[in-house]
A and B are shown apart, each in its own frame.
Chain A
Amino acid sequence: AQTIHQWPVAEIKAVGSPLSLGCTIKGKSSPNLYWYWQATGGTLQQLFYSITVGQVESVVQLNLSASRPKDDQFILSTEKLLLSHSGFYLCAWSLRSFSNERLFFGHGTKLSVL
């Protein structure tokens, strides 16, 4: 069975500090991978997606970057956090690059920037 694991579960960081969030998918080769951001009480905003290793597409600019160093790993990072980065970050995967496929979500990372 496929599993998706996000780390850490929660982070409290200072403004201006760096950040790295991770996501690992096991049991599925070459998945499409996605990062979503959810402001407190807000909707989901797609940030990045990746179809293959080393290839990441940005959907919206939020002073964040993403990388896919391995087939099963997706990293979200920034060198300098802003207060506006606070929220809930969700990693997701889908089977293929067709948009009628359902998404499988991780449990998310709650980020508080102080």
Chain B
Amino acid sequence: AQSVTQPDARVTVSEGASLQLRCKYSYSGTPYLFWYVQYPRQGLQLLLKYYSGDPVVQGVNGFEAEFIKSNSSFHLRKASVHWSDSAVYFCAVSTNNNNAPRFGAGTKLSVKP
């Protein structure tokens, strides 16, 4: 079965700094990978997704992620964070078996002004 690991429960960065949120997955086949963001007291919103092709995928609000198969990773990056990026970020993986994605534990991002 597939699994997702987000090793950092909390990340704090200063506004304007660069950001990387880590995600590693475990699955023997080719996964479908997602990053979702959850703002306080809200549901999740899709940031970006990877199915195939270019391993670097662009998402909304300047986010991007890179699929590195050899490392089983799908880290999320942003060149310059804004205070409004403070939220919880979830990495998710699904496979071609009709089940909904499995989510990581989430990383809570706090952006200091």
A106 to B38, CA, bound (A): 11
Which residue of chain B has its CB nearest to the CB of A90?
B43
B103 CB within 8 Å of chain A: yes
In the complex, how many residues of chain B place their beta carbon closer than 8 angstroms to a beta carbon of chain A?
A: 25
Q: Kindly identify, within residues 11 to 27 of chain B, every residue whose CB is under 8 Å from any CB belonging to chain A.
A: none
Query: For chains A and B in complex, what number of residue pairs have CB atoms within 8 angstroms?
Result: 61
Report the contact-size class of chain A (Cβ under 8 Å from the partner).
20 to 34
B72 nearest CB across to chain A (Å): 18
Contacts A43-B105, A99-B101, A103-B101 given; indicate if A108 touches B96 (C-beta within 8 A).
Answer: no
B20 nearest CB across to chain A (Å): 20
Chain B residues closer than 8 Å to A34, beta-carbon distance: 100
- B-side residues, CB < 8 A to A, are 32, 34, 36, 41-46, 49, 51, 90, 94-106
